[in-house]
């Protein structure tokens, strides 16, 4: 789009711009020339922002990876979070250094040179084509640069908030794992206590049975020695009883051995079950992490939809409010019309105009008078 000027306006503006260009040239000779580090600082900020994007992408890959174990994943995620935090601090330092730079003379000299070049080019364009499109393009270009800088600041603030959220998530995961490990340690200690109690009980029972058998055998032997001469006829019966006692003792020992073997099998079963449960819980924890990442992305999508729906609701509320006011206005107009009609009808009745005027005397007059009385009643 070309901005065309008239001849008189072009001459007048060219004179003013010529004067401005001369003044800027004199000012450039007066001011000392210094190196402008603005381009270098912008390159540094762009490099830091690209590094920030790379670290964020790497963190997402680590959190969504299924090949790493829980400890490795937490370790790598914590290292990447520290790098993100350090890079964010570097970006902040660059912005503060860019804002509070001591070289104000260099900035003034750069601005003067830019303005001198733009006005010189605009002056030539006005003198040749009577247009000032170069000036408009320069203003739009500066606006775009300012918008890009504001976008960089906004992305940096979002990155800082994201780092804080990820740090809080890491702390929550660590607390959950510590609680789970504590519960499992308590379960292991409880099982060990039960195992020790079972072993002690088994040992005590075996000692008691052995001592009981020994006491009984010794008693029987003493009785046999004392009554050997008197109870020769009862020797066979006593031997039979001794055999019964030995058989009972063997059966009891067999029972205890069997019970001890069962207890050992139960201990092995619980140890295997403990290993299987640990592996299952680890898999469950990995699946929960994946679900958490998916829920987070889903939450972002729902948040965006919520803002869109909220905007639609606000527009609907504004439309309903406009319709309500329109209905109130129409109702007021209708009431005003009814009042005007009632007032006019009263005026016509009082002044006997139109259908309420006096008619000729006679039957018709009487009938109309009766009709009016009925209406008044």
Q: How far is CA 270 from the centre of its chain?
A: 41
Pair 369, 360: CB distance under 8 Å: no
Summarize pLDDT for 91-146 with one digit per residue, the tens. 667 666 655 444 556 667 777 677 777 777 777 777 777 666 776 777 777 788 77
Question: Which DSSP symbol is given to 360?
Answer: -
Sign of the C-alpha dihedral computed for residues 88, 94, 98 and 101 taken in this order: positive
Q: Looking at residue 30, what is its pLDDT?
A: 62
Q: How far is CA 258 from the centre of its chain?
A: 59
Per-chain mean pLDDT for the chain: 77
Q: Looking at residue 327, what is its pLDDT?
A: 93
Q: Looking at residue 324, what is its pLDDT?
A: 92
- Tokens standing for 243? 């055999």
Summarize pLDDT for 162-206 with one digit per residue, the tens. 778 877 887 888 788 888 888 888 888 888 888 888 888 888 888
Question: Which DSSP symbol is given to 355?
Answer: G
Cα angle for residues 94, 98, 100 (degrees, 5° grid): 115
**In what helix (H) or strand (E) does residue 357 lie, and over which residues does it extend?**
none
Residue 240 has pLDDT above 50, yes or no: yes
What burial class does residue 85 get, using C-beta atoms within 10 Å of its C-beta: 0-12 exposed, 13-18 middle, 19+ buried? Answer: middle
**What's this model's pTM, rounded to 2 decimal places?**
0.28
Q: Looking at residue 343, what is its pLDDT?
A: 92
CA distances from 290 to 70, 79, 309 (A): 12, 20, 28
Work out the number of other CB atoms within 10 angstroms of the CB of residue 235.
12
Summarize pLDDT for 59-93 with one digit per residue, the tens. 677 767 766 666 676 677 677 767 776 777 776 67
Domain boundaries, the chain: 7-181, 189-317
Q: Looking at residue 5, what is its pLDDT?
A: 56
Q: With H, G, I as helix, E, B as strand and everything else as coil, classify residue 131.
A: strand
More confident position, 89 or 313: 313
Which whole number is the average pLDDT over 339-366? 75
pLDDT band, residue 363 (cuts 50/70/90):
very low
């Amino acid at each position: 789009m070309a901005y065309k000027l008239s001849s008189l306006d072009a001459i007048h503006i060219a004179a003013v711009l010529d004067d401005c260009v001369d003044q800027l040239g004199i000012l450039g000779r007066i001011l000392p020339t210094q190196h402008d580090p603005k381009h270098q600082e912008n390159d540094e900020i762009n490099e830091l922002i690209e590094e920030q994007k790379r670290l964020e992408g790497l963190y997402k890959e680590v959190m969504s990876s299924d090949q790493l174990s829980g400890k490795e994943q937490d370790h790598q995620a914590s290292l990447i979070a520290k790098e993100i935090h350090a890079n964010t601090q570097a970006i902040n330092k660059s912005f503060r250094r860019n804002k509070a730079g001591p070289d104000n003379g260099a900035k003034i000299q750069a601005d003067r040179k830019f303005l001198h070049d733009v006005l010189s080019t605009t002056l030539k364009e006005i003198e040749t084509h009577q247009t000032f499109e170069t000036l408009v393009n320069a203003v739009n270009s500066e606006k775009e640069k300012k918008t890009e800088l504001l976008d960089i600041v906004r992305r940096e603030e979002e990155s800082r908030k994201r780092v804080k959220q990820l740090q809080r998530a890491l702390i929550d995961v660590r607390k959950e794992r510590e609680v789970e490990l504590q519960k499992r340690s308590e379960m292991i200690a409880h099982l060990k206590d039960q195992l020790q109690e079972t072993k002690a009980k088994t040992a005590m029972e075996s000692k008691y049975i052995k001592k009981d058998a020994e006491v009984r055998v010794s008693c029987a032997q003493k009785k046999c020695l004392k009554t050997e001469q008197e109870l020769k006829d009862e020797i066979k019966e006593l031997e039979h009883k001794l055999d019964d006692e030995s058989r009972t003792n063997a059966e009891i020992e067999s029972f205890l051995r069997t019970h001890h073997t069962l207890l050992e099998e139960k201990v092995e079963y619980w140890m295997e079950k403990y290993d299987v449960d640990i592996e299952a819980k680890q898999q469950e924890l990995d699946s929960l992490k994946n679900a958490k990442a998916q829920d987070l992305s889903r939450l972002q999508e729902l948040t965006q939809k919520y803002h869109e729906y909220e905007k639609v609701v606000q527009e609907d509320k504004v439309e309903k409010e406009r319709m309500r006011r329109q209905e109130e206005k129409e109702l007021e107009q209708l009431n005003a019309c009814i009042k005007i009609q009632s007032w006019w009808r009263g005026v016509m009745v009082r002044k006997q105009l139109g259908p309420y005027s006096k008619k000729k005397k006679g039957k018709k007059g009487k009938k109309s008078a009766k009709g009016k009385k009925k209406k008044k009643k």
